[in-house]
Amino acid sequence: MVSHSELRNLFCSADAVCFDVDSTVIQEEGIDELAKFCGVEDAVSEMTRQAMGGAVPFKAALTQRLALIQPSREQVQRLLAEHPPHLTPGIRELVSRLQERNVQVFLISGGFRSIVEHVASKVNIPSTNVFANRLKFYFNGEYAGFDETQPTAESGGKGKVIKFLKEKFHFKKIIMVGDGATDMEACPPADAFIGFGGNVIRQQVKDNAEWYITDFVELLGALEE
C-alpha cells in the first residue's frame, strides 16, 4: 500500500500524466453520445455499463456497440459540430499547469480518435499525445469497422500504451488518472493511479483506488503546495 502523501509526492514529481477521456476529461461517454445521436441510445448504454463493469471483454463490447451504431463519417462530424463534448471543470487549468512544469500529458482512451483529438485541441494537448481507437469508413463515408490493431481496442490496452510510453520516452514516473476499471488496471505499468469520480462514480474504482478524487481542484492544490 502506498500512503496518500507518497501518492501526492509521486503525482507532483511525475514526468508524465495520462488521462482517460470519457467521464474524466469530458463529462460524457463518447460512445453513448454517438449512440444517442444515431438513435440507438438505450441498447448501447446498457452494453457500456456491462463493459465498464468488466463483465464483457472490451473488444467484444466495442464491436457489438459499433455494429448497432454504424456511425458514418458525416454523423461523427455532425456530432462534434452540434453536440461537442463538455470539458470537466478544472481540467484545462490542470493540463496547462502540468505542462508549465514540463510534464508530458497524454490522453489514453477506449473511445474514438476523431472525438478525442477534438478534446485534445481544447486542452492544448498535441494529437501525437493521443491514443484512442480509430473508426474506419468506406470511400462513401459509411461505417467500415474500427482499427483492431490499436492497443486501446483490447482489454488491458491502456497499460500497453503506458508500457510503450515508458520504453519510448524513458519516463521515470507515469501517473494514470481515470474513472473506470480499465484505467485502474493500467497500474502497473503506471507508477500510480488516481481514481476520478467527478462525473460518474464507479464503485469498484472508488473502493480500490488509493487516491480517489471528485474534483480536479484537488490535484491543482497538490501542485500548488
Cell numbers at 111, concatenated: 473511445
Using CA atoms, how far apart are residues 84 and 66, in angstroms rounded to an integer? Answer: 20
- Catalytic (active site) residue 20: yes
> What is each CA distance from 79 to 23, 63, 115, 120, 164, in whole angstroms?
17, 20, 9, 16, 31
pLDDT in tens, 3-53: 677 777 777 788 999 999 999 999 998 888 889 998 898 888 777 777 666
Q: Which amino acid is at 12?
A: C
Q: Which helix (H) or strand (E) holds 167?
A: helix 157-169
What is the enclosing helix (H) or strand (E) of 58? helix 58-69
Which of 43-52, 114-123, 152-161 is predicted with the least confidence, judged by mean pLDDT?
43-52
Backbone dihedral region of 106: left (phi > 0), alpha (psi from -120 to 50 degrees) or beta?
beta
Which one is catalytic: 15, 20, 179, 191? 20
Average pLDDT of the residues in 94-105: 92
Residue type, 113: R
To the query of whether residue 179 is one of the catalytic residues in this protein, the response is: no
Domains, the chain, ordered by start: 4-28+86-140+147-224 (3.40.50.1000), 33-83 (1.10.150.210)
CA distance 21 to 178: 8
**22, 32, 179, 191: the active-site residue:** 22
Instruction: Report the distance separating Cα 55 and Cα 202, nearest Å.
Output: 14
The overall average pLDDT reported for the chain is: 87
Can you give the pLDDT at residue 1?
60
Other CB atoms within 10 A of residue 151 CB:
17
119-125: long-range contacts at Cβ-Cβ below 8 A with a sequence spacing of 24 or more?
119/21, 119/25, 119/26, 119/85, 119/87, 122/87, 122/92, 123/25, 123/87, 123/91, 123/92, 123/95, 123/96, 124/95, 124/96, 124/99, 125/95
pLDDT reported for residue 6: 78
